[in-house]
């Protein structure tokens, strides 16, 4: 049987050229040169030929095999590179696309202001004291010389919790002044309760920052707000010390050389005399400028600690005197950084925070003055 080698070659070269992908090409290779491929079969048949036949058929078949193998290799290389190009084109990484904006957090203005205040008072030698947000009547009112059933208790618009079995209701502290009481009552520190000010004997020089609560909501009041209380108890303390401390603080806080302040008589049950301190300001340009102008902005309640408060906390008022003050932190921040409405501070609006928030890296280190 003679085989039409030229016809076979045309057929295989045609199929190789037409193979659409490497898988189809592999099928052609198996048909031609695989174990039971046509050309492999013909090459095997050489063994059964006469020497003369082999002389003719041998070179012819080897030539056919080589040409088909070369065509297969060439086509394979071409198909592989086309397939790679297609893959690269499909999965291309488009480096020209702008990266999505990175979400960056900000320090809440209240926390920034709190840190600024703590840093200044720490440098003046005040230690930090804290107390619980949920207080009892004694620490929030009675020990602070609010008479029982006195309307002064109502002036704070207190949030009361449901009364316990004994009929007494806990409350959300209306000011940070109960921390004064907890600090002066040195017997009142349960072991392990680190959030409670450690009680101590005089001399005492503490500030106590924290959340406070009153039923109140308008542009300058929010039901939850922040205060920093200050308390100094020592011998021979008088109003002059109080005034100097607050003046120093205000100048540092508002970054002014000096400030003009005034004390207005006021009433707090726990201080006598009591005052509110105002700072000179100018609101005529639409924004508040501290330290200039002809107006006054109320900034802090203060006074000399009432002898009854000292007595209620086991301190002899004939030996020790002191002063106390209570700042509204959010309100102070509003004056310094100019937020129009206090309620926005706690509305959890990220746009507001992005605008008024502070970079975490710029925040003062409150520990810096606490050496």
Residues forming the site for ligand PHE (CB under 6 A): 175, 177, 229, 268, 271, 301-303, 324-326
- CB closer to ligand PHE out of 251 and 300: 300
Q: How far is the CB of 275 from ligand PHE (least distance, A)?
A: 8
Q: How far is the CB of 301 from ligand PHE (least distance, A)?
A: 3
The residue of the chain with the least Cβ separation from ligand PHE equals 326
- CB closer to ligand PHE out of 29 and 214: 214
- CB closer to ligand PHE out of 68 and 277: 277
Q: How far is the CB of 326 from ligand PHE (least distance, A)?
A: 3
Measure the CA–CA gap between 171 and 357, rounded to whole angstroms: 31
- CB closer to ligand PHE out of 76 and 266: 266
Q: How far is the CB of 230 from ligand PHE (least distance, A)?
A: 7
What are phi and psi for residue 134, nearest 5 degrees? -90, 115
- CB closer to ligand PHE out of 37 and 269: 269
For the stretch 105-109, contacts whose Cβ atoms lie closer than 8 Å and that sit 24 or more positions apart, written own/partner, are: 105/357, 105/360, 106/353, 106/354, 106/357, 106/358, 106/359, 106/360, 107/357, 107/358, 107/359, 107/360, 107/363, 108/345, 108/353, 108/357, 109/333, 109/337, 109/339, 109/345, 109/356, 109/357, 109/358
Q: How far is the CB of 156 from ligand PHE (least distance, A)?
A: 8
Q: Looking up tokens 């409350």, which residue turns up?
A: 171
- Identify the burial level of 318 via C-beta atoms within 10 angstroms of its C-beta, where 0-12 means exposed, 13-18 middle and 19 or more buried: exposed
């Amino acid at each position: 049987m003679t085989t039409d080698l030229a016809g076979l070659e045309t057929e295989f070269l045609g199929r190789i050229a037409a193979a659409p992908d490497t898988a189809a090409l592999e099928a052609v290779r198996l048909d031609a040169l695989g174990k039971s491929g046509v050309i492999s079969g013909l090459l095997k048949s050489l063994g059964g030929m006469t020497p003369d036949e082999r002389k003719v058929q041998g070179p012819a078949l080897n030539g056919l095999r080589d040409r088909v193998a070369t065509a297969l290799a060439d086509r394979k290389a071409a198909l592989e590179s086309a397939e790679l190009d297609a893959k690269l084109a499909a999965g291309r990484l488009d480096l020209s696309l702008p990266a999505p904006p990175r979400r960056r957090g900000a320090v809440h203005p209240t926390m920034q202001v709190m840190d600024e205040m703590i840093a200044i008072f720490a440098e003046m030698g005040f230690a930090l004291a804290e107390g619980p947000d949920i207080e009892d009547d004694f620490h929030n009112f009675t020990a602070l010389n609010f008479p029982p059933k006195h309307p002064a208790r109502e002036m704070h618009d207190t949030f009361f919790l449901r009364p316990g079995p004994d009929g007494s209701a806990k409350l959300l502290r209306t000011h940070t002044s109960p921390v004064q009481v907890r600090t002066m009552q040195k017997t009142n520190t349960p072991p392990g309760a680190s959030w409670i000010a450690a009680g101590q004997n005089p001399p005492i020089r503490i500030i106590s920052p924290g959340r406070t609560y009153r039923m109140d909501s308008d542009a300058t009041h929010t039901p939850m707000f922040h205060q920093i209380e200050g308390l100094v108890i020592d011998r021979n303390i008088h109003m002059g010390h109080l005034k100097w401390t607050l003046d120093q603080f205000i100048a540092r806080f508002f970054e002014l050389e000096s400030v003009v302040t005034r004390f207005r008589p006021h009433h707090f049950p726990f201080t006598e005399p009591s005052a509110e301190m105002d700072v000179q300001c100018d609101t005529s340009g639409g924004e508040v400028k501290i330290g200039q102008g002809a107006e006054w902005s109320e900034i802090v309640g203060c006074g000399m600690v009432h002898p009854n408060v000292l007595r209620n906390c086991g301190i002899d008022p004939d030996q020790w005197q002191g002063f106390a003050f209570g700042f509204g932190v959010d309100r102070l921040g509003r004056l310094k950084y100019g937020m129009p409405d206090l309620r926005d501070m706690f509305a959890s609006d990220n746009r507001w925070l992005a605008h008024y928030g502070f970079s975490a890296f710029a925040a003062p280190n409150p520990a810096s003055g606490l050496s």
